Amino acid sequence: MAITAAYLHIPFCEQICHYCDFNKVFLDRQPVEEYLRAMEREMAHTTSRFSDRKMKTIFVGGGTPTALNVEQLELFLNSIHRHFKLADNYEFTFEANPGNIGKDKLKLLKEAGVNRLSIGVQAFQDELLKGIGRTHRYEDIFEIVSLAYEIGIHNLSIDLMFGLPHQTVQMFQESLQKAFLLDITHVSAYSLQIEPKTLFYNLMNKGKLKVPSEENEYKMYELLMNEMERNGFAQYEISNFAKPGFESRHNLTYWRNEHYYGIGAGAHSYINGVRRVNAGPLKQYINSITETGFPYREENVLTENEKMEEEMFMGLRKIKGVSKNEFKKKYNKSIYDVFGEQVTSLAKKGLLIDNEERLTLSKQGIFLGNEVFQQFLNV
């Protein structure tokens, strides 16, 4: 399968958010340039070993990629262009945090071909932002959108969170209303997940974390779906909404179970049926690159059953669901041959809609997505 997507990970943060369990480190006193040079070596070795096809999508995430200074950013962007060619009509996304990116960095991104920003907004109330460890404030959100348009980057996505400590349904509604004042094309909205090795996890274990009730979290999600539709954003995945034609093409690569490169500390890749996980700690990542050219900590060759399981639980995240014909073409088996029992059971429960061409989640199934996905694992 052709590899036309690449994810690149910048793990540095000026502040660690209280909920974040991604691979990240404090920026201060880190070997940033050494890390960026190691990333370039990984790019070179990876494209030499597997393919040097043109990339339809590139996504730079973190961490906080915009925490890099202008010189570091230029070094990084130049290395991308040395090793990845861009296809026609490409999508090049860069995660950006309000408050730590100005006109100079945005101009550099634009000149390097970045044509989409994923902006970490999370909430529009200063007290909520402070409570989750974010460093930006309300006014910074409007400033970054205005600057992006001034520079010429018009494809803008924002991240929102619900189910946050001390967040009410009314506060989330207010965030949505303010989001619709922005000239944006895409919204990713996620409920708070309490993950190990985070500050929130420690607070929860001490009984010091007050989060909204399950009922209120449900109300927030229902409000999200209704308001997005009312304001011209179509839900195309459980947590993602877009104006027509502005779906995240990179993330659709994951949900379609297609192959992609993963470059950087802790990055994941899926190449020719093998899932790989890179070493996470910076020193370990850099040393691995120096010694072997590759930083793989894990390599898992998927069985045919595992591929089909992933096809189902990734594909059902999409509102369009899973095509029966495409499944059969890909695996030379009917969905019913492999998952007939699961499909029948979930359809009877009202969680899955089984029509002539596709399997899709019902509205109740969208709310209980994890329960549905679990049914397709370890079959």
Q: pLDDT tens-digit profile of 55-85?
A: 999 999 999 999 999 999 999 999 999 999 9
pLDDT of 22 strictly over 90? no
The dihedral formed by the CA atoms of 118, 247, 193 and 264, expressed in degrees to the nearest 10:
-50
Could you tell me how far CA 324 lies from the centroid of its own chain?
26
pLDDT of 43 strictly over 70? yes
C-beta atoms surrounding 149 within 10 Å: 13
pLDDT of 21 strictly over 80? no
**Residues 364, 353: contact at Cβ < 8 Å?**
no
Higher pLDDT, 20 or 295: 295
Beta-carbon-side half-sphere exposure of residue 33 (alpha carbons within 13 Å) = 6
Q: Which CATH architecture has domain 5-255?
A: Alpha-Beta Horseshoe (3.80)
pLDDT computed for residue 379 by the predictor: 55
- Rounded Cα gap, residues 68 and 3, in angstroms: 28
Each domain of the chain, given as residue ranges in start order, spans: 5-255, 324-374
- Rounded Cα gap, residues 4 and 1, in angstroms: 9
Beta-strand pair 234-237/240-242: antiparallel
**This prediction's pTM:** 0.95
